[in-house]
Each structure stands twice: as C-alpha cells, then as structure tokens.
Structure 1
C-alpha cells in the first residue's frame, strides 16, 4: 500500500542525534566487526565459555557489544540511558536479562521478585510504559517442554489442550507448575496495579504452547479494560498468522483486549537444526518473502481490529514500519494511538526509531539490563543476528557512515 504518513527513515541527523562523535565511531567499529561471519562465529563460541570460567574479559565486553546493545548492569545505570532516550521522545521497554537455565526454585522466585522490582521502577518513569518477561526465567525449561509435548497430543483449543496436559502431570509437577502460575499472577497483579504493560517474550517452538496458554489465561483476567499483558507472535513461524487470528477470536468470545507484540523471530537457525535432527517438519517459513508477507498481513489484521487488539510493531524492517504508519494515517488515527506502538532493539535501527519519534509516533527501544554474565545469551543473539540477517549490518554501517560524513568526522 502507498505510505502517506510523511515519515521518512533517511534522516541520519535525527537517527543519531543522541550519540556523540566518539559513540558513533565505536558503533561503526562494532558493526564493521560483525560483518565478518568468521569473527562472529569464533566470538559467540568463546565468549560464553570465557565468562563461565571467569577469564578477565568483562571489561572488553562492557566497552564494546554490551555498551551498544544493553542499558547497563543495574537499573541505576540503565536509567541514564532511558533519560537520554526521553530527550528525543523515545520510550523504553525494560528487559531484565535473565533467561533459560534450569535454576532452582529459589532462583526462580528471585527472578520473579526482580521482574516486580522492574515494574515498580517503570511505574515511576513516564517514558517506560512496558517491561518484558521471559517465562524461562520463572519456569523450568524441562517442565515447559513436557507440558508442550502433552499439549501437542491433546485436541481442542489452546486452553483445552493446556488443561488436558495439566491433568497428565504427576503430583510434584502439578505443584511445580502451580508455582509458575503463582509467579506469573504476582507479576501481572503488580503490573495492573502500577499501570505498566508486561510483554511476554517468545520462546522456542517446543516450549511455546504452555507459554501461550498461560499468557492467554492471564489476558482473560487482566486485559478486560486495558492491555496489561502482551504475548509475542514470531511471524517467521508459518503457523503464527493463524495463531493471531485464533487469539483474536478468543479475545472476542471472552471479551478481553488482545495484547500482541509481532516480531519476525529470534531462533531460526536453532529451530531448523532441531527439526532436521529430529526429523519433523520445520516450523520456519520457507523463505523471507513468505515471512515478510505474513508479518505485513499481521500488521494489517491488527490495525483492522485496533479497538480489540493492542499491537506492538516490533520490527527492524522499514517497509513493515512504513505500512503500520501508513495505515494509521489512512484510518485517520493519531500517531500515538494507545493501541499501536512501535519498537526496535536498543543499538539497532536508530533511523527507524528516532524518525518515528520525530513524527509523534509512540515508539520505544527494547532496553535490556543485567550483569554481563546474565545478558551474554542476548548479546550473542545480537551478534549472530547482525551477521546473518540479510543486509542488516550493511544497512547499519551505511547509515553510520552517512552521518559521520555529514558531521565531517
């Protein structure tokens, strides 16, 4: 469709106004390095191991990839980044960088407490409307995997399959799952009371169904009048557009607002490798064109039902962002409509974020924080993404070079 919203992503003065010359040069060096696939391959293998055996590399990480993609190790450090973004009317999605790992119950309770601390902090900041949660931070991966397998063998709606799976758990596992539900309940209750949105991150396909079901049940409880809870749909999966439509039907029937963050996805290589190794059909779209088609269909669907669906267009794709902006314009809706929000990862696609903000759109940076050892998995994904996504590193570098030339440095 024709975009008539007047937003342009070509203005690098807007895109990088928040970075000084030194910061911009460091970004140039980092993205140049990530352009070398062999270097990224070595780095993503060695770094987690080096952190685990406590080699003295934290200083190097902190001054390079960490500084580019992470707000800080603590909330206090991250607040400085959030304040800088606020100067340019860019909001923040706070992400406490804990994920995965079969930690004990005590650690999962601690993660729950940390998520609630983030909610309480976000509630005091006008430009932090959302925070994100990974269910793997509060639930044992193996239990999620078992639930997913049981749900796959059940029939009916998502919630009915979830209920059938619960019945097949042993007594100890039921008690453990109830603790997961209790943690989620605490998080949602705190968020509702503080008026902070909670975004549930997507996980691997083989643990996603129980995450979807639990999120749906919580939306049914907390999203009656406003969107407190948002699920995430990864449109690089070939079944997610239909999943979005099914979620909308459930929201209509149960009379709640569907909160949905639409992304392309983060686990493509892992998903394909597992499907090949275990000899089942890949859940991933056959090609990028199909993924782009479904993503844009999802944008159109969500904005066609904007009264019932609260959408976060979380994308680094220029055309998808222009599509959403154009649809708002076409429908005569305000740029800062409460049910339409744009977001990009901190450290990437500044030309999209800051130019949307300049035109008055509701837009944020997804801003992770936490100790270096906790956010290493996130950082490794960013490095891999920027080396493997077609054109991403090249686009980032071209824009940075354009701005450095404009500044004459």
Structure 2
C-alpha cells in the first residue's frame, strides 16, 4: 500500500562530504560488534562528531528547521526533542532541571511557530526534569506497596508514594510542577507533548506522572482556552517489553473510567541493550542459581510482532474515540499493516488522530512514503550539545542495523552522482565540494568494510581542515582491493 518514493529531491542539495559521512555512519553501525561497543566508539572524536551530525538537528531547536527543510517540502513534520536526559546517578541539581525546563518551553514555542495544518509535537524527558534516582526510589516504593502485583498491573497511587521520604515527595511534586508548566504551555500554543520513554525500572513512577498529567490535560474541555485540540499529553509504550499489550489494555481501561483520552506513542523500544545489561548484572549479583525471567522479548521479530499487536489495539481504540496515537516505527511492514488497518476501520489519514514518526537520520524513505499518501508523518529531531546527546547517540548506534534501506539509498545517490551523471554536471559538483572525496565515492560505492576505512580516513582529514588533493599516483589500494585511500589523508 505504500510506494517506495524517489528520494532524489532530499539529496539533491546535499554535499558529497555529508553523503559520505552518512554512508560511513550507517556502514559502521551495521557491524555486529558495534552494538556492544557503542560507548567505547563514542570516545573517538571523529565517530562522535559524525554520529552527532547525522542523528541530531544541532545545538539548538532553531537548527531543526534548517535540517528538516527538504523533508518538510515533502510533507514531513518535526518533533522537537531536547536531547538531555539522566544528568547523574548521584548528583542532583535542581538548578539544572529548571534550566532544562526552560529549554523545553522554548522548543514548545518553536514548534508552535512552525505549526501548519497538522498540529506540532514536542518531546520531554522526565529524567531531565528530576533525577533518575528519585524516579527509581519512587518506583521501588510503589512496587513495595503492591508486592503481589506484576509489573504489568502496577497502578501507582498517592498512597503508595507515602512510603517515600518527605524530601522525595517534595522533589516529585516539584517535577510534576515543571511538567504541568510545560503541558500548559503546550496546550496554549497548539502543541502536543510526548513524554519520552524511560527504562523499565522507572516505569511505575513514569506511569504515575503520565496518568496525573493525562487526567488533567486530556479530558474534554481541558484545553478550552488553548489551541491544542484533543489530547495534550502522550505517554510512550515500548513493544520490546512482554507486558506492553497488557499495559495498554490497563491504561485504556483506566482512561475510560477516568473520563480522559489516552495519548499513546508506540515504539519498538529505546533501551534494549541497557535493559539486557541490567538483567545480566542482576543475575550475576543474585545468589539464586535459577534463571531469571526476562521481561524483554528475546528477538527482533517478536518485538515487531508485539508492536503490530499493540498498534492494532490502539487503532481500534482510536476508532472508538478513546485514544490518540503516534506510531513510531522504521519498519515498512509494520507501517503498511497500520495503514491497512486504518483503511479497514475507516480512519482518515488526514482527519483521524493517528500520527507516524521516525527518527532524524533514519528511514527517510518510509517518512516520505507515508507523507505522500496523506498520513500525518513526523521526524523526531533531537537537539543539544554533543556531550548532552551521548546516551542518545549510543542508542542510535545500537539500532541502526535495522535500517538497511536508508544505507542503500545513500549508496545509490552517490553512485548516481559519480557514475551516472553527465560529465559536466559531475565535474561542477566535484569542484564545488572536494575532488578527493568525490573520487573516493566513485571508486568504492559498495559500502564494504574497506570502504568504511577509506572514507574514515578522508573524514578525519576533512574534520582537520585539510584540503585534500588526490591523483592516481597518490591512491593506494587497501587489502581486498575494494577501495582506495589517499595516503596523505591517513592520520
């Protein structure tokens, strides 16, 4: 049902250097060993800078619009997301949390200023507005008060929070005050607010906060004096959790009972590797020899199946007027299933409260395909300085292996420019950007490991500001013969 669009318009103004950077990033992320070594690789400056330029909008929210220019011309919107999250596991800075809240208010205002026919979104992170350790203690208190309930059935209440110290209760109230400020600003400005996911160990506290906000801002008439229609607040559900569907059932029932609309962003999941590592550490620290039950689906295919089941449930709830949905997926099959279900249920692409989302730097072909069919489609555009965004970049390295189509599209564009274009046009582009970089692309379009090594050397030189020159006498073949590299560019 979704055509594979011509993405040439997205690339036509992209310099060779940027295409090579994108190709290098996607190739490196496709290596199996990258997922388990992401944090170590990010210590390399050129890797860090290349990933940052590929996956982030830039240092400020204003940078997102320049980065999104080509995609916006194809009908794809933007979700602004400040990249800060957990500041520290031990140090807590209320002053920094206040500053983060002010930055997020600015992103809401920025989103509102670019609102078009469809409503805009902004994303906030709980662990940027209050410490992760506070959320952890609150979650522990909630589990302790409901010890006979499974994680899927945890229903955090004010009574459970009485187990917290008065200091923690006050800190949690302060976090809620910041979130209410953001939600009120969003409601007034015509923006919907997505509360980004956290690790499962923080889920009870996360659910408590999200439900409190939905009860206040997602009920009929709650935004009578604002510009946002329907639900203002969206929570995030991660399909890699085995209990994702049961959590949605419980939350839909609670929303119906409470008289408010459930705002739900569904994603495959952002913390797979971190969650798995935490489970391994817990198992190693346990004195019990028994194998611990994993709350995660063990395979990518099972996660995709879980996502599809949750999407069907949510779309049915949209049809019944009980929910609004953002489906965050890079999987073409999952998107097509959702599109087919919307057609069967009679949900209009342009009128129903169903949105699709992909991350900046990933699955552009799916974003454009959905937008061309009239579906409300967005790119999640994180921004912030490089240090702030390191955890985000690490997660992108761990999951980019599932975006082979994007890699192929970048390769095809490089091939088109360097091999298929008329000689005069190719020559003009070469002179405008860099002869050495263009020559590198024309010699090794295959995207193999040797090519990554060759392009990496060029990127190092470009980052250092070297003006590369290369001719046949300077080019030396790498082992394997698949690519060449300028000897003077190696550092």
Q: Is the aligned partner of 1:240 residue 2:238?
A: no
Q: Is the aligned partner of 1:99 residue 2:85?
A: yes
Q: Secondary structure at the match of 1:285?
A: coil
What is aligned with 1:376? 390
Normalised TM-score (structure 2): 0.74
Q: Is the aligned partner of 1:230 residue 2:234?
A: yes
Q: Secondary structure at the match of 2:123?
A: strand
| Structure 1: 4+ residue segments shifted above 6 A | 156-159
Moved more, 35-44 or 336-345: 35-44
What is the deviation of 1:112? 1.1
CA distances 1:80-127 after superposition (whole Å, capped 9, x unpaired): 123433211110010011110234011011111111111112111125
Contact 1:337/1:362 (<8 A) preserved: no
Inter-CA distance 333–406: structure 2 relative to 1 (3 Å threshold): farther
Q: How does 1:319-358 map to 2 (within 5 A)?
A: 319-358=333-372
User: Of 51, 54, 57, which residue of structure 2 is paired with 1:71?
Assistant: 57
What is aligned with 1:20? 14
How many angstroms apart in 2 are the aligned matches of 1:403 and 1:325? Answer: 28
Inter-CA distance 234–160: structure 2 relative to 1 (3 Å threshold): closer
Q: Is the aligned partner of 1:255 residue 2:281?
A: no
Inter-CA distance 19–291: structure 2 relative to 1 (3 Å threshold): farther
Q: Secondary structure at the match of 1:363?
A: strand
Q: How does 1:168-187 map to 2 (within 5 A)?
A: 168-187=163-182
How many angstroms apart in 1 are the aligned matches of 2:203 and 2:156? Answer: 13
What is the deviation of 1:267? 1.2
What is the deviation of 1:351? 1.0
User: Of 133, 136, 156, which residue of structure 2 is paired with 1:142?
Assistant: 133
**Structure 2, unaligned runs of 5 or more:** 221-229, 284-291, 422-491
User: Of 97, 115, 119, which residue of structure 1 is paired with 2:104?
Assistant: 115
**Structure 1, unaligned runs of 5 or more:** 1-5, 51-56
Moved more, 338-347 or 377-386: 377-386
How many angstroms apart in 1 are the aligned matches of 2:69 and 2:6? Answer: 21
Inter-CA distance 40–154: structure 2 relative to 1 (3 Å threshold): closer
Q: Is the aligned partner of 1:88 residue 2:54?
A: no
Inter-CA distance 12–26: structure 2 relative to 1 (3 Å threshold): farther
Normalised TM-score (structure 1): 0.89
What is the deviation of 1:330? 2.1
Contact 2:35/2:397 (<8 A) preserved: yes
- Determine which structure has more spread, i.e. the larger CA radius of gyration: 2
What is the deviation of 1:270? 1.8
What is aligned with 1:292? 304
Q: Secondary structure at the match of 1:373?
A: coil
- Give the aligned CA root-mean-square deviation in angstroms: 2.3
What is the deviation of 1:401? 2.5
